Chains A and B, each alone.
Chain A
Amino acid sequence: MADHGPESVLRFERVVVTFDENPVLRDISFNMRRGETRIILGAAGSGKTVLLKTALGLIRPDSGRVWVFEEDSSDFSEHQWMKLRRRMGMLFQESALFDSLTIEENVAYPLLNQGAPPPPGEVRSRVEEILTFVELEHTLEKFPSELSGGMRRRVGIARAIVTDPPLILYDSPTAGLDPITANTIMELVAKERDTKSATTAIVTHRFQDGELMAKFSYNPGSGKLEPVLRNGTDPVNTVFMVLKEGELVFEGTQAELEQSRDPYVSKFVKH
């Protein structure tokens, strides 16, 4: 393909997913490029989770193609997917921490199971480092059931990013959290994006999560999120996408989203 710009990281081409003959994703096509942030909005049940799981190869499309890192995954075996998934991190909707394992074991899990495990001492220090990143370094020995919802979400993020994957998918990182905790989570997501320049997809029903990702970036100097200066070129490259009953009904920038006249789409914009 004669494309311009950075290489594609995740591309859907006319993807259809059906469960029991109900189409859950209908003819979805989009292309995510390296360095991009993609905000996926949609009502409950519109297919956002299914879309992320299809991107990870956990659900196979009934028709259409999913390209990951410019590889066509159509004929991939589970084994080939396992290799690809090493380069993808996923935060599941309810964190999906392994409740029989401690926080330390949960976060170490991808290090020990994806590819050749590093030496034991290194695993421990890497886990400590990443738990410090999400400000939970004191919870190593605890079990997931002993943590609050917001803390579990942060452990989930730690587990998703511990291997420094170039593509990270977040499924509803702020769902069910109070506004303050939700903001802490979004700051972590932005911090990870901006310190590792990871390509990031975020499913959410809160427009302000998308706005934060589009308008702020993490400044390692001050250790804070700062508004992105609008000096011509937009350093943060954020695309919004709206799903409605499995259909992609909008794809564009924040400005375009705010101007949309579609009643469903405009419902997601904060007034």
Chain B
Amino acid sequence: MLDLLKIPVYSIQEFTLLTGRAYRNLFLRPHYWDDVVIQMDIIGFGSLPIVVLTGFFSGAVMALQMSRALSQYGASGQVGQIVAIAIVRELGPVLTSLVVAGRNASGIASELGSMKVTEQIDAMRALGTDPTKKLVTPRLIATAVVLPLLTAIADFVGMVGGWIVAVPMLHLTTGSQYWSSSWRSLEYNDLAQGLGKPFVFGMVIALVGCFYGLQTTGGTQGVGRATTQAVVVASVWIFVLTFFITRIFVNM
């Protein structure tokens, strides 16, 4: 029984230590800004096409789903509002983060995992750099900054997707009503949670990816395992955390 608990307890302890170090490095020199920029490029621009695609279709499908229900109550004019709230509060942040988790938690874990099994992490330490400073903190900063931006783009594209379904396709409402009702329905609170969530999820994705990468043992097979675990764990955390963050905002 104790043995069964030992591995998760050990993992949590190691994860906490890594997290602590990654944040402490924010205030310690040297800072590897070049690596931050490179990571922003990889994570941000690299994810842009797929984020735009998922954003567009989630907005479009929301409008499609809502069209019938709303016309039953004669409220099809409200479609802009419904799409806006669903996208900005929940679908934009969560779907974007899941996409980035699938792409980048795995990318980070496999990159760091290969470095680990080929002793490049050891070499880094032997040659005067702290891998948490050089590898983890830049990825943490980059993902936390880039993910809210990607989410904002996904939100906007999702609204456009909803508009295409609601206005030119199904004629549920007029274009100006769609945009004005969606704009009016959004409150400061919605924007705060809509951008706060991806900020938190970005940190989770980077830290989980780095953690599993740096924990890799057992050669190339181990890299594959680390990659899968990173995606699964990061995705589950996104769902769990979005519940708790939403809970906080609903109470406010």
- Residues of A bordering B, CB below 8 Å: 53, 56, 58, 78, 82, 85-86, 88, 90, 92-94, 96-99, 109-110, 113-115, 159
Whether B128 and A82, one on each chain, are in contact in the complex, defined by CB atoms closer than 8 angstroms, is: yes
With both chains docked as a complex, state the minimum distance between the C-beta of B247 and any C-beta of chain A, in angstroms: 39
Whether A96 and B123, one on each chain, are in contact in the complex, defined by CB atoms closer than 8 angstroms, is: yes
Residues of A within 8 A of B118 (CB): 94, 96, 99
Whether B128 and A85, one on each chain, are in contact in the complex, defined by CB atoms closer than 8 angstroms, is: yes
Residues of A within 8 A of B125 (CB): 58, 78, 82, 85
Q: Which of B115, B119, B122, B127 sits near A113, CB closer than 8 Å?
A: B127
The proximity string for B residues 105-135 relative to A, scoring 1 for CB distances below 8 Å and 0 otherwise, is: 0000000000100111011111111100000
With both chains docked as a complex, state the minimum distance between the C-beta of B30 and any C-beta of chain A, in angstroms: 9
Residues of A within 8 A of B115 (CB): 98
* A–B pairs, 18, beta carbons within 8 Å: A53-B122, A58-B122, A58-B126, A82-B125, A85-B125, A86-B128, A92-B122, A94-B118, A94-B119, A96-B119, A96-B122, A96-B123, A98-B120, A98-B123, A99-B118, A113-B127, A113-B128, A113-B129
With both chains docked as a complex, state the minimum distance between the C-beta of A242 and any C-beta of chain B, in angstroms: 24
Interface size on B, residues (CB 8 A): 13
CA distance A85 to B130 in the complex (A): 12
Residues of A within 8 A of B129 (CB): 113
Q: Which residue of B lies closest to A112 (CB)?
A: B128
Q: Which residue of A lies closest to B119 (CB)?
A: A96
Q: Which of A86, A92, A114, A115 sits near B123, CB closer than 8 Å?
A: A92
Residues of A within 8 A of B130 (CB): 78, 82
Whether B128 and A114, one on each chain, are in contact in the complex, defined by CB atoms closer than 8 angstroms, is: yes
Q: Which residue of A lies closest to B126 (CB)?
A: A90
Q: Which residue of A lies closest to B127 (CB)?
A: A110
Whether A96 and B128, one on each chain, are in contact in the complex, defined by CB atoms closer than 8 angstroms, is: no
Q: Which residue of A lies closest to B111 (CB)?
A: A100
Q: Which residue of B lies closest to A101 (CB)?
A: B120
With both chains docked as a complex, state the minimum distance between the C-beta of B219 and any C-beta of chain A, in angstroms: 11
Residues of chain B from 79 to 126 with CB closer than 8 A to chain A in the complex: 115, 118-120, 122-126
With both chains docked as a complex, state the minimum distance between the C-beta of B97 and any C-beta of chain A, in angstroms: 26
CA distance A92 to B121 in the complex (A): 11
Q: Which residue of B lies closest to A57 (CB)?
A: B125
Residues of B within 8 A of A82 (CB): 125, 128, 130
Q: Which residue of B lies closest to A78 (CB)?
A: B130
Residues of chain B from 127 to 177 with CB closer than 8 A to chain A in the complex: 127-130
With both chains docked as a complex, state the minimum distance between the C-beta of A59 and any C-beta of chain B, in angstroms: 9
CA distance A88 to B123 in the complex (A): 12
New A-B pairs, 7, CB < 8 Å, besides A96-B119, A159-B127: A58-B126, A85-B127, A88-B126, A92-B126, A93-B119, A94-B118, A109-B127
Residues of B within 8 A of A114 (CB): 127-128
Q: Which of A85, A93, A99 sits near B126, CB closer than 8 Å?
A: A85
Whether A56 and B127, one on each chain, are in contact in the complex, defined by CB atoms closer than 8 angstroms, is: no
For B115, B125, B128, B130, the residue with the greatest tally of chain A CB atoms inside 10 Å of its CB is: B128
| A-B interface, 6 closest residue pairs, ranked by CB to CB distance from nearest | A114-B128, A96-B119, A113-B128, A96-B123, A92-B119, A110-B127
Q: Which residue of B lies closest to A56 (CB)?
A: B126
Q: Which residue of B lies closest to A90 (CB)?
A: B126
Whether A110 and B128, one on each chain, are in contact in the complex, defined by CB atoms closer than 8 angstroms, is: yes
Q: Which residue of B lies closest to A113 (CB)?
A: B128
Residues of B within 8 A of A85 (CB): 125-128
With both chains docked as a complex, state the minimum distance between the C-beta of A165 and any C-beta of chain B, in angstroms: 11
CA distance A96 to B123 in the complex (A): 6
CA distance A94 to B125 in the complex (A): 16
Residues of B within 8 A of A88 (CB): 126
Residues of B within 8 A of A97 (CB): 120, 123
With both chains docked as a complex, state the minimum distance between the C-beta of B34 and any C-beta of chain A, in angstroms: 12
Q: Which residue of B lies closest to A159 (CB)?
A: B127
CA distance A210 to B144 in the complex (A): 52
